[in-house]
Structure 1
Amino acid sequence: MKWSEQTWKTIEAQYQSILDMPFITELSDGSLPLENFRFYMAQDSLYLEHFGRTLSLIAAKIQDIQDVLSFMRFAENAIVVENALHESYFKDFGVTDKGILQPACHHYIHFLRSTAALESVEIAVAAVLPCFWIYREVGDYIYNHQNSINNPYQKWIETYGGEEFSAAVDHAIAICDQLAENSTEETRKKMTEAFIMSTSMEFHFWEAAYELKTWK
């Protein structure tokens, strides 16, 4: 069994808890308050900028030249394409200011950046993988369970269905599996720990948007 398959089994309960959370269910049926969605979009836009920088750092450290190119493209997509997408939705939903990094977003990006800077590249790649993989799976779930009648978030939900993003996720998983295969057992263990931690961060990111968690 591949490292990714084994590791996904360890977070199945966490993943289900994400699907069950009010933010996801209310986004799917269109009842999520606009204030919560605005909070989410602003924090997600800030997150993507730092996520792109983290991917660039991984690109500088990874050995295989094709993987270098892949992570450079991942970084470009996060910073340019996704940020442009959010800017268009800022207009749609009346977001005028991204504001500052709030606790959940702050903790998540600093975990990723410190992992990319201080740990081995294998662990760094595992740490960023949930942002690819869980985002796709949750996005597919929302897309398949949405209320498409008078859902104010319908246009935004439809962006989840892109085959290009799905292919990029599969590629990121494949890179991680290859790195794990060529690593020691101890490194694979740390890769799994990093993946689990980022999965928890994913949950808290959505939870923070639903509860409007800010610095006290």
Structure 2
Amino acid sequence: MTFSEEAWKHVASWYDAILAHPFVAGLADGTLPEDVFARYLLDDAHYLTSYGSTLAMLAARAGDPALSAGLAHAAAEAVEAERLMHEEFLVPRGLDPDGPDAAEPTPTCRAYAGTLLADAAYAPVEVGLAGVLPCFRVYLEVGRAIAAQATDPAHPYRAWIDTYSDPAFDAAVTRAEGWTDRLAEAATPERRTEMLAAYARATRFEWMFWDASWRGETWPTA
């Protein structure tokens, strides 16, 4: 069993919890309130900026030219595709994720993005890579699950569904998992345990991210 297969099996209960979350359920059947979806996309735009930096940091530390090039390409490709989707939904509604009046990232967004960036900078490269995998795999699996239900071309969140159920995204996920699996093969059992912990932590953050948007999480005021 490869590391990515083992890790996905390890977080099965969290994936089930993600599918059962009211945010994801509403996204699937189209009943998710538009303002909640917009709030999520704004937070996701902030997250993607840090996610791109995380991948770029890992590319710089990879120590292997092919892996460095692949990670750098993934950083640019993933962030650009998703930001275009954000702009298509948000800008017509007067919401600019890069504007001076954009909502600041939620505490959960800050915690998740900061954890990935810290691991990319200070943890072993294979541990940092394990931490970025759930953002790929969870979205692919959720996208597929929703696409199987949401067959109406006029679904209000069709662009989101199509983005994450697209074969091109599937290929990107497979590449990222392949890089990590190769590093895991050469890792010690102790290091592999660290990788699994990073993967599980990031998957838990994925649930928290959607939950934060659903709850309308904000920073406290004095």
TM over 0.5: yes
CA drift at 1:93: 4.6
Q: Determine the C-alpha separation between the residues in 1 that align with 2:146 and 2:93.
A: 19
TM-score normalised to structure 1 length:
0.95
Counterpart residue type for residue 69 of structure 2: L
Given the alignment of the two structures, is residue 35 of structure 1 paired with residue 62 of structure 2, yes or no? no
Shift in alpha-carbon separation, 1:77–1:34, aligned structure 2, 3 A? same
Deviation digits for residues 62-114 of structure 1 (CA, Å, limit 9, x no counterpart): 12211111100111123333222311221345424542111111110000011
- Give the percent of matched residue pairs that are identical in Structure 1 and Structure 2: 36
Q: Determine the C-alpha separation between the residues in 2 that align with 1:96 and 1:183.
A: 43
Counterpart residue type for residue 145 of structure 1: Q
Aligned residue for 1:176, secondary structure, equals helix
CA drift at 1:186: 0.6
CA drift at 1:7: 1.5
Query: Comparing 132-141 with 92-101, which one deviates more in the overlay?
Result: 92-101
Contact 1:49 1:83 in 2 (8 A): no
Aligned twin of 1:162: 166
Match of 2:118 among 114, 118, 124: 114
Counterpart residue type for residue 53 of structure 1: S
Given the alignment of the two structures, is residue 54 of structure 1 paired with residue 58 of structure 2, yes or no? no
Query: Comparing 168-177 with 147-156, which one deviates more in the overlay?
Result: 147-156
Q: Determine the C-alpha separation between the residues in 2 that align with 1:9 and 1:154.
A: 29
Q: Determine the C-alpha separation between the residues in 1 that align with 2:164 and 2:202.
A: 20
Deviation digits for residues 6-44 of structure 1 (CA, Å, limit 9, x no counterpart): 111110001000001000111111111111001000001
Given the alignment of the two structures, is residue 126 of structure 1 paired with residue 130 of structure 2, yes or no? yes
Contact 2:52 2:79 in 1 (8 A): yes
CA drift at 1:166: 0.8
Aligned twin of 1:213: 217
Ranges in structure 2 where 5+ consecutive residues have no aligned partner: none
Counterpart residue type for residue 172 of structure 1: A
CA drift at 1:146: 1.8
Aligned twin of 1:179: 183
Matched residues, number:
216
Aligned twin of 2:10: 10
Aligned residue for 1:139, secondary structure, equals helix
Query: Comparing 106-115 with 155-164, which one deviates more in the overlay?
Result: 155-164
Match of 2:201 among 197, 200, 207: 197
Structure 1 runs (4+) greater than 4 angstroms displaced: none
CA RMSD of aligned residues (A): 1.5
Ranges in structure 1 where 5+ consecutive residues have no aligned partner: none
Q: Determine the C-alpha separation between the residues in 2 that align with 1:57 and 1:28.
A: 34
